[in-house]
Amino acid sequence: MPNVRRAGPVTTDPAPHKVINPPTDITKIKSTDARASFRSALAGAAFDRLKDALESVECRPRDHVSYVLALCPAHDDREPSLAVYRKPGRARVVCHAGCDDVAVLAALGLGVADLFDEPRAPYAASRRFQSVPQVRTVRSVRRRVAPLEPAVVVGAYRYADETGRTLYVKERLEPKRFRQFVPTPGGRQWTLNGTRRVLYRLPEVLEAVADGRLIFLCEGEKDTESVRSAGVVATTWTDGAWQPGAAPKWRPEYSEQLFGGWVVIVRDRDRAGRATAWDVAGELRSVAAGVQVVRPAYGKDAFDHLAAGLGVSDFIAEENGELV
Ligand SMILES: [Zn+2]
């Protein structure tokens, strides 16, 4: 029995796993023939083990000829970006978003030894064949995901530097989800790691700061575009809102880009929206010329408010309606 239990509710009815029971140590099998037959009995064991583990954490592995594609358990994956290949004597994992193999295995409750069909004693004997039941009997902390449906890109938002050069692009898909990429000469890099982060429509933001015009800081690109269509300068950041008490997804560079500006934070009317707006207001106090938090007078966000025919002057100011 595994002596370390992982977090998460225990499933009541673990399915029987397919891994055959090997001798505890293959090196104890003397005969070459016996060892060979043991090997062939184990062929594909690592591949099956990974596939089972992916299934058990609802990463939805889908079969292809010599590999499976699944949601990657190590990052917030909405498109299947993890490939598991069947190789002689072992399996190979490749996350196309760039997750480290060890991180992928760890998210499945597995270790590097689990990539191999044959146990490699003594490490393997002591741990490896405990790993599958361990995964089988606990649920991953990974949240459940909706069944995969064909997604359609319904919006593309370009994030550019002050000269207008594209740094990254965020796409909105229907059913609603987002993905981001950095355009590269060879195609798309599906991670923003190492990429400079900027506020949405940074050139317009910097111009408004210089001119002393109001900048409406919204929650998401859809709200931002809707506020812009009212004829004012609006912006957002790519990372989204956070729950009260959670680590802010606001970066110091965003504050720097608003240095000296007059900022109106338009929050969503929910707990995350309020927490986010006031956290950001706190960040901006010392750098902006003025900060005001407002909420929509109608609906759940700026988009609803404007779609109802209200204007930017109809937002409801919070904290005594004064720029503080
Ligand atoms: Zn990944």
Nearest one of 204, 122, 126 to 159, comparing CA atoms: 204
In the predicted model, is pLDDT for residue 131 greater than 50? no
Strands 214-217 and 187-189: unpaired
202 in Cβ contact with 224 (< 8 Å)? no
Q: Model confidence over 176-215: pLDDT tens digits?
A: 788 899 998 888 888 888 899 999 999 999 999 999 999 9
Give the pLDDT of residue 178: 85
Span from the CA of 72 to the centroid of ligand 1 (angstroms): 5
Domain boundaries, the chain: 26-120, 199-317
C-alpha to C-alpha distance for 227 and 225, rounded to whole angstroms? 5
Enclosing H/E stretch for 90:
strand 90-95
Give the pLDDT of residue 40: 62
Question: Given pLDDT bands bounded at 50, 70 and 90, which one contains residue 98?
Answer: confident
Give the pLDDT of residue 153: 83
Question: Given pLDDT bands bounded at 50, 70 and 90, which one contains residue 31?
Answer: low
* Percent residues over pLDDT 70 in the chain: 76
C-alpha to C-alpha distance for 140 and 7, rounded to whole angstroms? 8
Q: How far is residue 91 CA from its own chain's centroid?
A: 25
Span from the CA of 75 to the centroid of ligand 1 (angstroms): 5
Question: Given pLDDT bands bounded at 50, 70 and 90, which one contains residue 146?
Answer: very low
Mean pLDDT of 153-157: 87
- Residue 252 burial (10 A CB sphere; 0-12, 13-18, 19+): exposed
Span from the CA of 65 to the centroid of ligand 1 (angstroms): 22
Span from the CA of 308 to the centroid of ligand 1 (angstroms): 40
Give the pLDDT of residue 39: 58
In the predicted model, is pLDDT for residue 122 greater than 50? no
Span from the CA of 211 to the centroid of ligand 1 (angstroms): 43
- Residue 239 burial (10 A CB sphere; 0-12, 13-18, 19+): middle
47 SS3 class: helix
Span from the CA of 11 to the centroid of ligand 1 (angstroms): 25
Q: Model confidence over 240-269: pLDDT tens digits?
A: 999 998 889 999 999 999 999 999 999 999
Give the pLDDT of residue 263: 96
Give the pLDDT of residue 89: 83
Span from the CA of 223 to the centroid of ligand 1 (angstroms): 29
13: which 2 tokens? 């009815």
Span from the CA of 159 to the centroid of ligand 1 (angstroms): 23
Mean pLDDT of 102-110: 84
Nearest one of 22, 50, 17, 25 to 37, comparing CA atoms: 22
250: which 2 tokens? 């606001």
Q: Is the peptide bond before 133 cis (omega within 30 degrees of 0)?
A: no
Four-way CATH pick for 199-317: 3.40.50.2020, 3.20.20.10, 3.30.9.60, 3.40.1360.10: 3.40.1360.10
Span from the CA of 195 to the centroid of ligand 1 (angstroms): 18
Give the pLDDT of residue 298: 92
Span from the CA of 204 to the centroid of ligand 1 (angstroms): 34
C-alpha to C-alpha distance for 268 and 275, rounded to whole angstroms? 10
Give the pLDDT of residue 35: 56
Q: How far is residue 138 CA from its own chain's centroid?
A: 22
Alpha carbon distances (Å) from 37 to 32, 102, 174: 9, 30, 50
69 in Cβ contact with 62 (< 8 Å)? yes
C-alpha to C-alpha distance for 86 and 65, rounded to whole angstroms? 9
- Residue 3 burial (10 A CB sphere; 0-12, 13-18, 19+): exposed
Q: Model confidence over 44-92: pLDDT tens digits?
A: 888 988 998 898 888 899 988 889 999 998 888 888 999 999 888 889 9
Question: Given pLDDT bands bounded at 50, 70 and 90, which one contains residue 14?
Answer: very low
In the predicted model, is pLDDT for residue 123 greater than 50? no
Report the DSSP beta bridge partners of residue 250.
none
In the predicted model, is pLDDT for residue 142 greater than 50? no
Residues, Cβ < 5 Å to ion ligand 1: 72, 74-75, 95, 97, 99
